[in-house]
Amino acid sequence: MYVIQPLAHPTYDTKKPVLVLTSVRDGKKFLIGSVSEGTQRLFNEAKIKAGKVENIFLTGNLNWDSISGLPGLILTISDQGKKNLNIVSGLRDGVIHYVMATWRYFIFRFGIDICTKSLKDGEIYKEKDFIIKALNVGVEENSQQVEVDDAISGDFMNNLKKIVDKIFPLDINLNDYFISKKHYDKLLHLKLPYFSKKKNQQVHSTSTNYLIKFNQCRGKFLPKKAIELGVPTGRLFAQLTSGIPVELPSGIVVKPEQVMEPPRNFPKVLILDIPNLDILNQTINCDKLFRPVDENDEDKIGIVYHFIGDSVPDNFLDLHGYLKFITEKFDQDCKHYISHKSCSPNSLSFEKSALVTLKLKSINNEMFRLPTGSLRAAEFSQDNLAPLIANQKVSIKSDGIFNPDELKNSKRTIQDYWEELFESKIKPLELNIYSKKEILNTKIENDKNLQESLEVSTATDLREEVEIITLGTGSAIPSKYRNVVSTIVRVPYIDDKTGKIQFNSVVLDAGENTIGSIKRIYGSQLPIFFKELKLIYLSHLHADHHLGIISLIQEFNKFQEKNNNKENYIYIICPWQYDLFLKEWDRIDDLENLKYCKYISCEDFLVPNFNDERRKPLKQNATLDFEEEDTVEYEPSYEGDYKAEDELMLELYRDLKIRKIETCRAIHCDWAYSVSLIFEIDNDKLPNNNDNFITNFKISYSGDTRPNISFAKKTGYGSDLLIHEATLDDQLIDDAISKCHSTISEAIFVGRLMDCKKTILTHFSQRYPKLPDLNYKFNIFEKLNNVSFDGDGAQAQNLLYAFDNMIIKYNSIHKQMENFSKVGNEKLYKIFGDEAVEEEQEDAEAKDENNINGTGKNDTNSNKRKNNTKSDQKNKIEAGRNVSEALFQNVNNNIKQRKIAD
């Protein structure tokens, strides 16, 4: 038996559909469809181990939406102990290799063998339990195919494969840090060859579909029949069951088919991916979809999955003849699941995260909005048609298709969903801080409240109206409860033409599926976000910080084109490699994302810090030729002088009303930065400013880093707001040092050293799915225990622990701790007790499974690698401790000096 589980259907959270095919016999899993942003997080939500995936079969044509989640999913699969992975598509090998070569800026993963297989039209891929046939629909003219072949043949493809092998090395000396670092540095500075869009027509003009035929299942053995034929019980029974004839002492030969029921056949499965109207029209007239898979194929198609792209109009079933295609070309008992934005509901893909949001809203109502969505799916008059809905499993058996999870469409609304969740999960907690009505706004009330909060008509101090939206607050990989990091900061200003208060929005890092979180929060007010969006800042090249940027830019482009507004731009401040990544991707998928983007390197904003020569600007851009990668060594060199403000930087300052942007090197990885932005606040232009002439607002963002004295005492000193990573709890300081992250208390002390007015902590380890340590104690370094701070704890320090989809006004940061205090720590942790128990159970199951599979702590090779690097880690940790102690001693002295001055 086989089970097909839709992991995703089109929603705000997941742009494209994907299926998980599971063989019940051995538990192997196969991913079929698109791997869009959010896919790896869906594995967690559905409690499916990504490490169980054997093959990924990509459907449709190639664009960012179809594989934007693939880099993150591969990393997750590798982390779960998988040693090999096959990626199958209808694209040429060179195209997939080129795609993976563009990842060299942010992926380097040891120990997983990535194999790609390109299937020509009609070619068959064999698995143990089934065969899958590629059906490529689209332009297939020989002249165009030759152009594609020329673009990716010979040395070109071999060199691309070598790059991919070095991104995913199977054999490298991990014990020698300098060798592995030099290896990675070379990849960063390698120029890819030009990949012509004209020669890459197949990528966009052809769509890959699959027809799956399952192997016959042996019939049931009939022992009574065997005995009647004179076969003695025992060994000969087993021989017949295995399909081997037996010869009796009488010389009679008994064949297996004489004592077995007839073999059982399974219905075939067809997956159609139709990205646009051109492909739809060709699919309707495509006879090869119905040809036998092989000469022994007599099975009927029992189930069809229709993946219809967003560009196909909502009325595609009737107006474009697709319904006629379904009813006339397939048997009446064939089941059809249709995925299209007009058919599948915009339901909440991450329900566990939604429940956490509801719980937090019940404590801090004004800081959260319930995610927008809809539960209504399309209704079809034909019984064999149904909308594709995630997690509604289908069982494929020899006697037919069974869909026990299929739900009939109902009148249930998203408001009903929240009502039910409140009654079952919130009411029993007896919090009694807000009423049910206050927490569960209706859609009309929610839209009205959102619009009012996004607009400010009067103010006496614009600094207090600065708004922070923490879209994602986790680190490394998305979890059920926290997405990877991304933050919006909305900074008010006075429009010179209208005299009204307006906002500029800055996005600080944008991990995978940032756009989904934005759509859930803004809902119908999404145009306000894109109207305000002016700047995207990327702190470094790790995948969890930037895989959502391209989607964000694409949506901005759509907004610009729809409103015929071609004068607005997004400024992108990022490491120089990211600009190259965008340009390399633009050769494959015509992103047009450079049309409205203006790029400036983080390196260009470096300023002198304590006369440290190592912090001077480095030379940027790729310098190694593609063909010379094996023979030329890369050596970093310093640019020399710090860059003066050029016209583009001054233009950025004017457009965003920024006085100054400064970066410093973060203590994390190469080309990682922390930043400070000083905004011009128009308090002097307010009609009732009460003589408030403070016109600066300074925001500092750490990115990923160890506590950094250059950031605290130079770049970020005197900040109004610090947003700092707090990846690990205090008792895990050794991990923080070895991985170049900060603990919670370290981040808090950086804010104190910086003389910052308010601090927001984010980027928490995913081992803290809900609440970080809210009872933080300054107990890492005993010498600090006697330091007397003004006030007591986080509340007095204007400290806030960020959660996903949190909306905070600058003047309300203190309210989080006020309400947490009302609830009390004991009850607070009890509120999230269910999730904590669930996490512990899943962690225990994962450890048991890893040990059974040889991928856990009992793995000999893993232990060997850990032992070999033990002394290096010890030295690194000791050095890190010395830096931390010096930093905290500086805090101590700073506070004492302030007391003396007072």
Predicted confidence (pLDDT) per residue in 576-630, tens digit: 989 989 988 888 876 555 778 999 999 999 987 655 545 566 666 656 665 555 5
Mean pLDDT (the chain) is 82
Give 431's pLDDT tier (boundaries 50, 70, 90): confident
pLDDT at 174: 56
**Between the CA atoms of 492, 496, 497 and 501, what dihedral angle is there, to the nearest 10 degrees?**
20
Q: How many residues does the chain have?
A: 902
The DSSP code for 229 is T
Measured between alpha carbons, how far is 558 from 515 in angstroms, rounded to an integer?
A: 13
Retrieve residue 491's tokens.
């900074």
Average pLDDT over residues 83-112: 88
Retrieve residue 486's tokens.
């991304």
Measured between alpha carbons, how far is 808 from 453 in angstroms, rounded to an integer?
A: 10
* Higher pLDDT pick, 527 / 834: 527
Q: Which of 36-45, 250-259, 286-295, 701-710 has the lowest mean pLDDT?
A: 286-295
* Distance set, CA 446 to CA 435, 465, 524 (Å): 15, 20, 10
Four-way CATH pick for 2-142+153-194+203-216+264-343+378-411: 3.30.465.10, 3.90.1150.10, 3.40.50.720, 3.60.15.10: 3.60.15.10
Three-state DSSP state, 679: strand
Q: At what angle do helices 277-284 and 322-329 cross, to 10 degrees?
A: 30
Question: What are the helix and strand counts (H, E) for the chain?
Answer: 31, 30
* Distance set, CA 101 to CA 135, 161, 167, 191, 307 (Å): 27, 8, 8, 10, 28
Task: Enumerate long-range contacts of 176-184, CB under 8 Å, 24 or more apart.
Answer: 177/872, 182/633, 182/634, 184/108
Is 50 exceeded by the pLDDT of residue 177? no
Q: Cβ(93)–Cβ(159) under 8 Å?
A: no
Note the Cα 203 to chain centre separation in Å. 24
Is 60 exceeded by the pLDDT of residue 900? no
Phi-psi region for residue 301, left (φ > 0), alpha (ψ -120 to 50) or beta? beta
Asked whether this chain's domains 2-142+153-194+203-216+264-343+378-411 and 444-611+651-830 adopt the same fold, the reply is yes
Give 863's pLDDT tier (boundaries 50, 70, 90): very low
pLDDT at 859: 42
* Distance set, CA 628 to CA 106, 180, 278, 633 (Å): 22, 19, 42, 9
Retrieve residue 265's tokens.
């056949």
Q: At what angle do helices 93-101 and 154-167 cross, to 10 degrees?
A: 40
Phi-psi region for residue 233, left (φ > 0), alpha (ψ -120 to 50) or beta? beta
Instruction: Report phi then psi at 742, rounded to 5.
Output: -110, 150
Q: Which of 100-109, 355-364, 683-692, 821-830 has the lowest mean pLDDT?
A: 683-692
Is 90 exceeded by the pLDDT of residue 169? no
Residue whose C-alpha is closest to residue 271's, from 15, 532, 90: 90
Q: How buried is residue 773: exposed, middle or buried, by Cβ count under 10 Å (0-12/13-18/19+)? A: middle
Is 50 exceeded by the pLDDT of residue 307? yes
Greatest mean pLDDT among 73-82, 228-237, 444-453, 532-541 lies in: 532-541
Predicted confidence (pLDDT) per residue in 1-37, tens digit: 899 999 999 999 999 999 999 998 888 999 999 999 9
Task: Give me the sign of the Cα torsion angle 153, 159, 160, 161.
Answer: positive
Is 50 exceeded by the pLDDT of residue 303? yes
- Return the domain boundaries, the chain: 2-142+153-194+203-216+264-343+378-411, 223-258, 444-611+651-830
Q: At what angle do helices 93-101 and 576-588 cross, to 10 degrees?
A: 160
Residue whose C-alpha is closest to residue 787's, from 693, 896, 865, 890: 896
Residue whose C-alpha is closest to residue 473's, from 458, 460, 483: 483
* Higher pLDDT pick, 899 / 567: 567
217-233 burial, b if ≥16 CB within 10 A, otherwise e?
eeeebeeeebeebebee
pLDDT at 161: 84
Is 50 exceeded by the pLDDT of residue 778? no
Is 50 exceeded by the pLDDT of residue 899? no
Give 442's pLDDT tier (boundaries 50, 70, 90): low
Task: Give me the sign of the Cα torsion angle 818, 819, 820, 824.
Answer: positive
Instruction: Report phi then psi at 7, rounded to 5.
Output: -85, -30
Greatest mean pLDDT among 494-508, 759-773, 875-889 lies in: 494-508
Q: Cβ(51)–Cβ(77) under 8 Å?
A: yes
* Distance set, CA 887 to CA 67, 748, 750, 780, 881 (Å): 43, 12, 8, 13, 10
Measured between alpha carbons, how far is 60 from 67 in angstroms, rounded to an integer?
A: 11
* Distance set, CA 752 to CA 3, 758, 797 (Å): 55, 9, 9
Average pLDDT over residues 159-175: 78
Q: Cβ(798)–Cβ(758) under 8 Å?
A: yes
DSSP for 356-419, please give it.
Answer: HHHHHHTTSGGGB-PPP--------SSTTEEE--TT--EEEETTEEE-TT-----S--HHHHHH
Q: What is the pTM of this model?
A: 0.87
CATH classification (class only), 444-611+651-830: alpha beta
Is 70 exceeded by the pLDDT of residue 754? yes
Predicted confidence (pLDDT) per residue in 661-712, tens digit: 999 999 998 899 999 999 998 887 777 666 666 789 999 999 999 999 999 9
* Distance set, CA 105 to CA 93, 575, 585, 626 (Å): 21, 10, 12, 15
Three-state DSSP state, 768: coil
Is 50 exceeded by the pLDDT of residue 646? yes
Predicted confidence (pLDDT) per residue in 492-527, tens digit: 999 888 888 999 999 999 999 999 999 999 998 999
Measured between alpha carbons, how far is 880 from 711 in angstroms, rounded to an integer?
A: 16
* Higher pLDDT pick, 53 / 685: 53
pLDDT at 619: 67
Average pLDDT over residues 446-453: 67
Measured between alpha carbons, how far is 798 from 721 in angstroms, rounded to an integer?
A: 10
Give 892's pLDDT tier (boundaries 50, 70, 90): very low
* Higher pLDDT pick, 795 / 289: 289
Note the Cα 201 to chain centre separation in Å. 28
pLDDT at 747: 94
Query: Would you give the end-to-end CA distance of the chain in angstroms?
Result: 77
pLDDT at 685: 79
Greatest mean pLDDT among 40-44, 107-111, 607-611 lies in: 40-44
Q: At what angle do helices 414-421 and 351-361 cross, to 10 degrees?
A: 70
Give 410's pLDDT tier (boundaries 50, 70, 90): low
Residue whose C-alpha is closest to residue 618's, from 632, 603, 634: 603
Average pLDDT over residues 549-560: 92
Measured between alpha carbons, how far is 881 from 872 in angstroms, rounded to an integer?
A: 14
Give 868's pLDDT tier (boundaries 50, 70, 90): very low
* Higher pLDDT pick, 548 / 859: 548
SS3 labels along 685-734: HCCCCCCCCCCEEEEEECCCCCCCHHHHHHHCCCCCEEEEECCECHHHHH
pLDDT at 636: 58
pLDDT at 628: 57
